[in-house]
A and B are shown apart, each in its own frame.
Chain A
Amino acid sequence: MTEARNIYEQESHNKNATLGVMIAMTVFLGFIGFGFDAFYLGTITEDTFLPIGTVLALGFGLLSASWSLQGGAKAVLSSTNAVPADPNNPAHKQLLNVVDEMRIASGLPMPEVYIVPDPDPNAFATGRDPEHSYIAVTQGLLDSLNREELQGVVAHEMSHIRNYDIRLMTVIAALMGAILLLSDWARRGLFWGGGRRRSRSPGGSVGGPIALVLLALWIIGVILAPLIGQIMAMAVSRKREYLADASGAELTRNPLGLAHALEKLENASAPTASIKRGAAHLCIVDPLGRKVNTKEGFAAELFGTHPPMSKRIIALEAMAYQMKPAG
Chain B
Amino acid sequence: MLSDWSLSIRLTMSENCAGVIVRERVLAMPNRSLIDRCIIESRFPNAYFITRPIRKEPSMFVFYILLAVAILLIFWVVAKYNGLITLRNQVMNGWKQIDVQLKRRHDLIPNLVETVKGQMEFEQTTLQKVIEARNAAISAKGIADSAAKEDVLSGALNKLFALVENYPNLKSNENVMQLQEELTSTENKISFARQFYNDIATKFNIAQQVFPANIIAAMFNFKPSELFEIKVEADREVPKVDLSLKK
Contacts and interface: CB of A to CB of B under 8 A. Distances in A.
Interface of A: 90, 93-94, 97-98, 100-102, 104-107, 147, 253
Interface stretch (B68-76, B108-116, B154-162, B184-192): B184-192
Interface in B175-209: 177-178, 181-182, 184-185, 188-189, 192-193, 195-196, 200
Contacts of A98: 185
Interface string B124-162: 000000000000000000000000000000000000000
Contacts of A100: 185, 189
A97 B185 contact: yes
A90 B97 CA distance: 26
Contacts of A253: 195
29 contacts: A90-B169, A90-B174, A90-B177, A90-B178, A90-B181, A93-B181, A94-B181, A94-B185, A97-B182, A97-B185, A97-B188, A98-B185, A100-B185, A100-B189, A101-B185, A101-B188, A101-B189, A101-B192, A104-B189, A104-B192, A104-B193, A104-B196, A105-B196, A106-B196, A107-B90, A107-B196, A107-B200, A147-B184, A253-B195
A105 B174 CA distance: 29
A104 B101 contact: yes
A110 B154 CA distance: 50
Given A104-B192, A253-B195, A97 B181 contact: yes
Contact of B94 (A90, A101, A107, A147): A107
A129 to B, nearest CB: 18
The listed residue with most A CB atoms (<10 A of its CB), out of B97, B177, B182, B185, is B185
Nearest to A89: B169
Contacts of B94: 107
Closest 4 CB pairs of A and B: A97-B185, A105-B192, A104-B192, A101-B188
Contacts of B182: 97
A216 to B, nearest CB: 41
Contacts of B196: 104-107
Interface string B81-109: 00000000010001001000100000000
Contacts of A90: 169, 174, 177-178, 181
Interface in B43-98: 90, 94, 97
Contacts of B174: 90
Interface of B: 90, 94, 97, 101, 169, 174, 177-178, 181-182, 184-185, 188-189, 192-193, 195-196, 200
Given A90-B169, A90-B178, A107-B196, 13 more contacts: A90-B181, A93-B181, A94-B181, A97-B181, A98-B185, A101-B185, A101-B189, A102-B192, A104-B97, A104-B101, A104-B193, A105-B192, A107-B94
Contacts of A106: 196
A100 B178 CA distance: 16
B48 to A, nearest CB: 51
Nearest to A90: B178
A101 B185 CA distance: 7
A146 to B, nearest CB: 12
Contacts of B200: 107
A253 B195 CA distance: 9
Nearest to A104: B192
B181 A105 contact: no
B142 to A, nearest CB: 49
A149 to B, nearest CB: 15
Nearest to B200: A107
Contacts of B169: 90
A106 B196 CA distance: 7
A90 B193 CA distance: 24
With a 10 A CB-CB cut-off, give which of A97, A98, A106, A147 has the most chain B CB atoms. Answer: A97
Which of the listed residues A102, A104, A106, A147 has the most CB atoms from chain B within 10 Å of its own CB? A104
A102 B192 CA distance: 8
A170 B126 CA distance: 60
A91 to B, nearest CB: 10
A110 to B, nearest CB: 12
B104 to A, nearest CB: 11
Q: Name, among A90, A98, A101, A102, the residue most crowded by chain B CB atoms within 10 Å (CB to CB).
A: A101
A158 to B, nearest CB: 12
A105 B200 CA distance: 10
A255 to B, nearest CB: 15
Contacts of A107: 90, 94, 196, 200
A97 B187 CA distance: 11
Contacts of B189: 100-101, 104
Nearest to B193: A104
Nearest to A147: B184
A101 B181 CA distance: 13
A317 to B, nearest CB: 22
A156 to B, nearest CB: 16
A106 B184 CA distance: 19
A208 to B, nearest CB: 37
A270 B177 CA distance: 31
A102 B101 CA distance: 14
A94 B178 CA distance: 9
A93 B112 CA distance: 15
